[in-house]
């Protein structure tokens, strides 16, 4: 899948070698929408956001609904004008060098956006024409093979399954061979098997040189795929760390205990963040690993007359960190 490689082709993308600067550099990005009416104040969607997307990585951009992710992506795509701040894509300022900045990025939107009466081959040929790529230099056949749609070359796009349409959108975004690819909720509404196939495709593209920016509501997807994750909430950047480091921020751990008899009164201890009954003889205890350890928790339960038959531990994951960070009210 060489069309996804980090260095764009000179004939269809900016003439540049791979930059020493980040693939995307965002500084003090602000977006305030126009007010809805007289006397109203326009919504402040982005409040001075700054971060870098490292070249050659899979970068997760997460946040709850209304956090500002879509606004940021639309600014990258050139569909929304920023209020202030700077954005460089592959070293090109989106204001000063708009043409090359746009050629350096491919956007895969969440919505299905192509004419259902064209075939996949025609969709890619038309997109190539829009980018001014001559017929001799178009790689529509290669792209269809890369996203495993060669056998659907001449089928009407409307007859494709949901997963196939998603893969066609990815191929469409790669027509001009951009070194940076933004995937906005690429697995929304597809089943587990198709999600797995799309994950494999994204990983393959990244291995062949593409820098990937991924937004998703499936947090296990982000934890599995992304090298680094930024979290936006209420228009502000609240986290930006390597994925393992971000997951390591979780302070709470959980012990699931099966006891020797039915629980009528829950054990208590200052080290418990929460203790709840999940079955006749099963309790779930949450504790802060900075203040207690598993041994202390088990001893406290036993000291209150319970014999422990079985113990299961649950490690923190990205969802725990995400909920903890985004539940805080932005200042």
Instruction: Specify the range with the lowest mean pLDDT, choosing from 72-76, 207-211, 314-318.
Output: 314-318
Residues contacting residue 198 through CB under 8 Å, at least 6 positions apart: 163, 166, 167, 186, 187, 190
Overall residue count recorded for the chain in this entry: 331
| Structural domain count of the chain | 2
What is d(CA 186, CA 213) in angstroms, rounded to the nearest whole number? 11
pLDDT over 60 (residue 330): no
Mean pLDDT for the stretch of residues 279-289: 91
Q: Are 108 and 196 part of one and the same domain?
A: yes
Judgement on whether residues 24 and 103 belong to the same structural domain of the protein: yes
**N- to C-terminal Cα distance for the chain?**
45
Tell whether 327 is covered by a domain.
no
pLDDT in tens, 44-57: 999 999 999 999 99
DSSP state of 178: -
One domain for residues 209 and 263: no
The pLDDT value given to residue 107: 95
Assigned domain for 325 exists: no
Quickly state the pLDDT bin for 249 (edges 50, 70, 90).
Answer: confident
* Whether 212 and 262 share a structural domain: no
Cα distances from 160 to residues 35, 155, 168, 193, in angstroms, run 41, 8, 9, 16
Check which CATH number belongs to the domain holding 225 and give it. 3.40.50.300
With a pLDDT cut of 90, the percent of the chain lying above it is: 66
**Does the residue 329 lie in any domain?**
no
The reply to whether 265 and 233 lie within a common domain is no
Instruction: Express each pLDDT in 128-159 by its tens digit.
Output: 999 999 999 999 999 999 889 999 999 998 89
**Do 79 and 193 belong together in one domain?**
yes
266 and 235 in one domain? no
Give CA 288 to chain center in angstroms: 28
Q: Are residues 100 and 44 in the same domain?
A: yes
Classify residue 157: in a domain, yes or no. Answer: yes
- The pLDDT of residue 9 is 39
Secondary structure (3-state) at 244: helix
Looking at the structure, tell me whether residues 194 and 284 fall in a common domain. no
- Domain-embedded: residue 326: no
Please, are residues 16 and 90 in contact by the beta-carbon 8 Å criterion?
A: yes
Determine the angle formed by the axes of helices 162-173 and 192-207, rounding to 10 degrees: 20
- What is the CATH classification number for the domain harbouring 284? 3.30.70.1560
DSSP per position, 45-102 = EEEEEEEEE-TTSEEEEE--TTSSHHHHHHHHTTSS--SEEEEEETTEETTTTHHHHH
CA dist 291 and 276 (Å) reads 19
- The per-residue pLDDT of the chain, averaged, comes to 88
**Domain presence at residue 331:** no
176 plus 206 within the same structural domain:
yes
Q: Is 331 exposed, middle or buried (0-12, 13-18, 19+ CB in 10 A)?
A: exposed
The domain containing residue 125 runs over which residues? 2-247
CB 157 within 8 A of CB 123: yes
Query: What is the distance between the alpha carbons of residues 103 and 311, in angstroms, rounded to a whole number?
Result: 55
User: Final residue of a domain: which of 247, 263, 283?
Assistant: 247
Q: Are residues 67 and 155 in the same domain?
A: yes
Same domain, 134 and 283: no
């Amino acid at each position: 899948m060489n069309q996804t490689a980090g260095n764009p082709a000179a004939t269809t993308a900016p003439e540049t070698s791979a930059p020493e600067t980040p693939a995307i550099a965002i500084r003090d990005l602000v977006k305030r929408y126009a007010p809805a009416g007289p006397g109203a104040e326009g919504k402040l969607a982005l409040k001075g956001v700054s971060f870098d997307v490292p070249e050659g990585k899979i970068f997760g951009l997460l946040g709850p609904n209304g956090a500002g992710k879509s606004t940021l992506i639309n600014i990258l795509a050139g569909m929304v004008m920023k209020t202030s701040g700077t954005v460089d894509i592959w070293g090109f300022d989106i204001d000063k060098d708009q043409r090359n900045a746009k050629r350096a990025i491919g956007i895969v939107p969440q919505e299905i956006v192509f004419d259902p009466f064209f075939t996949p081959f025609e969709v890619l040929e038309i997109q190539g024409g829009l980018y001014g790529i001559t017929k001799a230099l178009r790689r529509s056949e290669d792209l269809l093979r890369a996203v495993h749609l060669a056998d659907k070359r001449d089928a009407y796009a409307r007859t494709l399954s949901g997963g196939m349409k998603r893969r066609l959108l990815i191929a469409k975004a790669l027509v001009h061979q951009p070194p940076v690819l933004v995937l906005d909720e690429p697995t929304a509404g597809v089943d587990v098997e198709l999600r797995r196939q799309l994950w494999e495709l994204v990983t393959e593209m990244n291995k062949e040189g593409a820098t990937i920016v991924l937004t998703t509501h499936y947090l296990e997807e982000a934890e599995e795929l992304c090298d680094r994750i930024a979290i936006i909430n209420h228009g502000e950047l609240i986290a930006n760390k390597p994925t393992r480091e971000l997951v390591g921020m979780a302070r709470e751990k959980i012990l699931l205990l099966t006891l020797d008899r039915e629980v009528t009164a829950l054990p208590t201890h200052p080290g418990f963040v929460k203790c709840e009954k999940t079955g006749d003889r099963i309790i779930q205890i949450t504790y802060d690993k900075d203040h207690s350890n598993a041994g202390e928790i088990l001893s406290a339960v036993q000291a209150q007359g319970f014999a422990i038959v079985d113990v299961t531990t649950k490690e923190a994951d990205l969802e725990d960190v995400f909920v903890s960070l985004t539940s805080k009210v932005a200042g």
